[in-house]
């Protein structure tokens, strides 16, 4: 088992006098000292506006952002030029939707989206469909919460221009069969955008091997800072795309009549960069690499399995999704109790879980529920955390006056 809780300063501070049990890592991870210190060290030693100053300090700031891009590229199995820094997953999806989408999707085309998507992967495509006259076609999970190959074949057709799918759902925690999805999409000439926001913290990805056309992720779910995200795109696709935002730092030449663009990926990175975010993300990746991905996977599997088996022993709990492997999240309801009450009662015991629709309202409707609670796990969670959660969870119905 990993023993990294000591690296996370926020976990050392008790919540209302109790040990902080943070089970909301799918919303945002906590940051280790290694990330916090790297950001401070950057500001103390290397801060300047990159790609501008010709002085030594400016060159150092440029080196820091180049180094971060290289580290991210190595981490996800891509080339440096295929990595675009954005604010977050949401901005990355919007970038693809409004540049590639608006240029390549027309009336009569289909955009295929998994109904278990986060709103970030769904709403931009609904808007593109409205503006172009295309249709959004939804793929649905089966009764276990699994996206089957049969459903992929049914929904992805010769009309499909792009398929947008989360590698791991932020509600069900179930991984899609990305190989089958990409094979099917490419066989009909469609592109694939994989949302890796919930998968990237749990196992290694190699985008070249996976073969997706675009992939998106957020730094803050990977133990890095907020405000930094990544868009991966195949170089030829990025080269052919128009910029999303325009202004400083993304141009080639500007005249009174117009402008040309910088090379990929800088043509997508308008304005002053979030260098502290890039530096922090690089530090997070190096920290996770130093722990070893096999160790991370084994640790999280043990914690999630331990929690699941404990939850199954508590009566009146419904757990959503049922697949042999579950990555990082367990969504559930306690019979007769509103999820906000569940989260508040757990909070009184120092346990943080998320309650609501989890930015996945169409999936909630599909599951026949309005909302649910979600416990999510990271590298710092321990069996002691799970025991505290289960102990508190087991008392909720009684607390609400329903008997156990």
Residue 118 found at the interface with ligand PLP (CB under 6 A):
yes
| Alpha helix (H) residue ranges in 292-395 | 293-312, 339-348, 361-367, 383-393
Distances (CA, A) of 260 to 119, 230, 267: 34, 24, 9
Distances (CA, A) of 46 to 40, 42, 86, 332, 375: 10, 5, 21, 46, 39
- Closest-CA residue to 333 (of 346, 324, 342, 323): 342
Name residues contacting ligand PLP, limited to 206-265 (CB under 6 A): 218
* Candidates 3-11, 74-82, 192-200, 390-398; binding stretch for ligand PLP (CB under 6 A): 192-200
Contact string (CB under 6 A) for ligand PLP, positions 338-377, x = contact:
----------------------------------------
Nearer to ligand PLP, 61 or 168 (CB): 168
In whole angstroms, what is the distance from residue 351 CA to residue 38 CA?
A: 29
Beta-bridge mates of residue 215: 194, 232
Residue 120 found at the interface with ligand PLP (CB under 6 A):
yes
CB of 91 to ligand PLP, least distance (A): 7
Tokens of 200: 């990237």
Residue 71 found at the interface with ligand PLP (CB under 6 A):
no
Q: Which DSSP letter does residue 26 get?
A: T
Tokens of 133: 């006259």
Judged by CB under 6 A, the number of residues near ligand PLP is: 12
CB of 248 to ligand PLP, least distance (A): 24
Nearer to ligand PLP, 327 or 332 (CB): 327
Active-site residue, from 196, 212, 359, 372:
359
CB of 30 to ligand PLP, least distance (A): 15
Would you say the C-alpha torsion 366, 219, 209, 121 has a positive or negative sign? positive
Reply yes or no on whether 165 is catalytic. no
Nearer to ligand PLP, 167 or 388 (CB): 167
- Residue 253: exposed, middle, or buried by beta-carbon count in 10 A (0-12, 13-18, 19+)? exposed
In whole angstroms, what is the distance from residue 262 CA to residue 395 CA?
A: 59
CA angle 185, 172, 331 (to 5 degrees): 165
Coil, strand or helix: which one is 274? coil
Nearer to ligand PLP, 65 or 218 (CB): 218
Residue 88 found at the interface with ligand PLP (CB under 6 A):
yes
Give the contacts of 359 (CB within 8 A, at least 6 positions apart): 118, 119, 120, 170
Nearer to ligand PLP, 118 or 191 (CB): 118
The owner of tokens 């997706």 is 212
Contact string (CB under 6 A) for ligand PLP, positions 166-185, x = contact:
x---x---------------
CB of 397 to ligand PLP, least distance (A): 29
CB of 221 to ligand PLP, least distance (A): 7
Nearer to ligand PLP, 32 or 225 (CB): 225
Name residues contacting ligand PLP, limited to 34-63 (CB under 6 A): none
Q: Which DSSP letter does residue 24 get?
A: B
Residue 24 found at the interface with ligand PLP (CB under 6 A):
no
In whole angstroms, what is the distance from residue 201 CA to residue 299 CA?
A: 13
Instruction: Return the residue of 109, 195, 276, 282 that touches ligand PLP, per CB under 6 A.
Output: 195
In whole angstroms, what is the distance from residue 326 CA to residue 309 CA?
A: 13
Nearer to ligand PLP, 28 or 104 (CB): 28
Instruction: Return the residue of 90, 160, 333, 381 that touches ligand PLP, per CB under 6 A.
Output: 90
Q: By CB under 6 A, name the binding residues for ligand PLP.
A: 88-90, 118, 120-121, 166, 170, 195, 197-198, 218
As annotated, the active-site residues are 359
């Amino acid at each position: 088992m990993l023993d990294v809780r000591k690296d996370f300063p926020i976990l050392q501070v008790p919540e209302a006098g109790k040990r902080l049990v943070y089970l909301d890592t799918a919303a945002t991870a906590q940051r280790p000292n290694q990330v916090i210190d790297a950001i401070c060290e950057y500001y103390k030693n290397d801060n300047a506006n990159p790609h501008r100053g010709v002085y030594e300090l400016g060159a150092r700031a440029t080196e820091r952002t180049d180094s971060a891009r290289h580290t991210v590229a190595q981490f996800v199995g891509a080339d440096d030029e295929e990595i675009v820094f954005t604010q977050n997953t949401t901005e990355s999806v919007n970038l693809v939707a409004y540049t590639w989408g608006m240029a390549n999707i027309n009336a009569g085309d289909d955009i295929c989206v998994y109904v278990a998507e986060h709103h970030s992967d769904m709403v931009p495509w609904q808007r593109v469909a409205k503006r172009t006259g295309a249709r959004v076609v939804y793929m649905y999970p089966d009764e276990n919460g699994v996206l089957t190959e049969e459903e992929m074949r049914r929904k992805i057709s010769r009309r499909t221009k792009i398929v947008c799918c989360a590698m791991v759902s932020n509600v069900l925690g179930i991984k899609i069969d990305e190989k089958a999805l990409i094979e099917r999409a490419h066989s009909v000439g469609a592109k694939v955008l994989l949302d890796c926001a919930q998968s990237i913290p749990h196992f290694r990805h190699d985008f070249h091997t996976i073969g997706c056309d675009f992939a998106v992720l957020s730094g803050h779910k990977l133990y890095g800072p907020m405000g930094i995200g990544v868009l991966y795109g195949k170089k030829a696709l990025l080269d052919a795309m128009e910029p999303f935002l325009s202004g400083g730092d993304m141009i080639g030449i500007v005249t009174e009549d117009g402008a040309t663009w910088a090379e990929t990926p800088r043509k997508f990175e308008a304005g002053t960069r979030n260098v502290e975010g890039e530096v922090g993300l690089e530090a997070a990746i190096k920290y996770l690499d130093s722990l070893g991905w096999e160790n991370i996977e084994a640790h999280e599997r043990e914690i999630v399995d331990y929690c699941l088996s404990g939850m199954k022993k508590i009566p009146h709990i419904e757990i959503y999704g049922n697949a042999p492997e579950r990555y990082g999240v367990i969504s559930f309801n306690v019979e007769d109790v509103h999820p906000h009450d569940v989260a508040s009662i757990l909070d009184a015991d120092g346990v943080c879980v998320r309650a609501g629709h989890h930015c996945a309202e169409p999936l909630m409707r599909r599951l026949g529920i309005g909302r649910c609670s979600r416990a999510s796990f990271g590298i710092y969670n321990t069996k002691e955390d799970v025991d505290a959660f289960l102990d508190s969870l087991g008392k909720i119905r009684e607390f609400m006056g329903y008997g156990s």
